[in-house]
Amino acid sequence: MMLVCRVFTLGLVLSFAAPALAITEQATQSATEFYQAYRKAFAKAQKIEDILPMMAASQRAKMEKTPAEERTMMFGMLKEMTAAQGEVKVLKETATKTGAELTLETKSEKGTATIIKEGGAWKLDKESWTNK
């Protein structure tokens, strides 16, 4: 009986500790690390809804207002463009009042990503690319 109580107590403690550890990990994550995780998640995503939690609230709201058929088409085009970019290098991370601005580069393009903090978590607000 004592062992059952200890196991239950340990389980209860871990159920409260695990979310705290996840928050701590995100708090120590840089904007660059977040962006790299976002790119990996985007590569694996099957639909736009898979990455919505990583997007800023304003961008997420725009996506959610878009009709489902258009979202699917837009996501397909974004997947093609992202795949064509190949490896993305983060050249510079500059702190801003709301988060960070990343300077990005691929073989043929240069870009920027605006990463903001919302509720203590990094979110992608904007990403733009131009040819070199």
pLDDT digits (tens, 9 = 90+) for 8-55: 333 333 344 444 444 444 558 999 999 999 999 999 999 999 999 999
* pLDDT value of residue 27: 58
Comparing 9-13, 56-60, 96-100, which segment has the lowest mean pLDDT? 9-13
Residue 46, SS3? coil
* pLDDT value of residue 12: 36
* pLDDT value of residue 94: 98
Parallel, antiparallel, or unpaired for β 121-131 and 109-118? antiparallel
Which among 108, 49, 60 has a CA at the least distance from the CA of 84?
108
Q: What is the pTM of this model?
A: 0.77
For the chain, what percent of residues have pLDDT higher than 70?
A: 80
CA distances from 92 to 6, 30, 105, 114 (A): 49, 12, 10, 12
